[in-house]
Structure 1
């Protein structure tokens, strides 16, 4: 697996618009973990409301879990207690009060469990990032959803990415990054960010470069720009942009294969 894509795709099959039943999503995730592209696959994401069901149905076999907690709900300690027996590798919390959530994580999160704090899109991103700066926790930003206003404009997303870079705060994205390249969805008319655009924006180093990268709609331009990245630039970009949640692991892989950026094994390789 190329370092640029290693661990990039967190498995959000349970979430819209995928909405896969747990009984199908768990074995599908285990299949991803034994496939040729396993190196690109992150943890299995599960909301706290389905945690009890996951505990009952997980069964044997490796299943690294990323646990999603809503703001104002049970804290990390209570959720981890409920998840006893599962391999919880990360916790993600949506919050309107980032400083309070950071303090709660510091008090309750055990060593070895990572955390990401989903920032509110309230126009105070700088303050939220200041609260995360110097902590071991990632920022999380929503890049799409089921309505047009769930997709942040290019300028807003660029400001978040650059703000994280300035503070050395790593981040993940969630929702909307279904495909590699920025595009307009033909059915909804929504403007979707591309995950390759976000990767290039992470490597840009300044707001103007991030805006340019996020706005690019040409796959050929993006692929050419990726080809020019040095190993150090790739490492820096991935230290910043750690992963994104996708309800389909197959879709981003298919895009990468179509663009010649990832090659499935052939009979000659085996």
Structure 2
């Protein structure tokens, strides 16, 4: 089965982050295997922090990766950008994206300006933003959009309060669409459909729900309608909701520690292409 374009390079490999927390050497080997498997076209870059960058490059030998390892680097603060980019320049990696965290104890808008003014060598840059209830959210979004940066939404974690509800996530998506500002998501999106984790009781968003809500946002749906889509648990309703509008112009990817789980969900929902032919190419 090949990967339809709407799902191409949708899943950034965050295997070393919780809850997977795979040791770096194992994660690098697994990522190489994924890029030579039926999952290949679904796979985005390997996500890692600045502290793991040199070790990952050393582990990603030419026999595993004929081309330099594609990475998305989580940068802990705007002040760490220069060192991160300089370090990557000397390593056998291809930096596909930077994911910059903001210092929540300091005013946010000046930090965005610092990031925007930095020579990022044309690398796509996502800013991890606070929840939309944050008092600086409207101005922060406007600044990110004005500087042609991208957004990063945290959609889960290891605690229940790390998961935004459907209204919060709907506000994020709605506002991103109004500013035509692409976003990625991170954490909690292990499955296609919204569900309750039987072990933790946490409410997980579904990546298919987000794709459908994003398409609706691009068609000018309001926040309440998006929240309804994000809360939907009926697979048939969601698979039928994938229309002609391409949500990937806005929802570019999400980080997950299980590429296989995402693939198997799509296969079970009948959303993979059974026709012969080449898979869609990764970003």
**Normalised TM-score (structure 2):** 0.86
- Counterpart of 1:123? 134
Q: Which runs of 5+ in 2 are unaligned?
A: none
- Counterpart of 1:220? 236
2:10 is equivalent to residue 8 of structure 1: yes
RMSD: 1.9
Work out the CA distance in 1 between the residues paired with 2:83 and 2:207: 34
C-alpha deviation, 1:164, in angstroms: 0.5
- Counterpart of 1:77? 82
Describe the superposition over 1:205-252 as per-residue Cα deviations: whole angstroms up to 9, x where unpaired: 2212211110101111111212xx01xx02xx1111100000111111
Work out the CA distance in 2 between the residues paired with 1:219 and 1:10: 23
Work out the CA distance in 2 between the residues paired with 1:80 and 1:58: 18
2:253 is equivalent to residue 247 of structure 1: no
Q: Which runs of 5+ in 1 are unaligned?
A: none
Work out the CA distance in 2 between the residues paired with 1:164 and 1:2: 24
Contact 1:201 1:214 in 2 (8 A): yes
Contact 2:156 2:188 in 1 (8 A): yes
C-alpha deviation, 1:264, in angstroms: 7.0
Q: How does 1:41-120 map to 2 (within 5 A)?
A: 41-60=43-62, 61=65, 62=67, 63-71=69-77, 74-83=79-88, 84-85=90-91, 86-95=93-102, 96=104, 97-120=107-130
Work out the CA distance in 2 between the residues paired with 1:109 and 1:59: 29
Describe the superposition over 1:70-103 as per-residue Cα deviations: whole angstroms up to 9, x where unpaired: 136x522211212222211211011135423332
Contact 1:145 1:151 in 2 (8 A): yes
2:184 is equivalent to residue 179 of structure 1: no
C-alpha deviation, 1:127, in angstroms: 2.4
Contact 1:98 1:117 in 2 (8 A): no
Work out the CA distance in 2 between the residues paired with 1:199 and 1:260: 16
Measured at CA, do residues 106 and 20 of structure 1 come closer, stay the same or move farther in structure 2, by a change above 3 Å? Answer: same
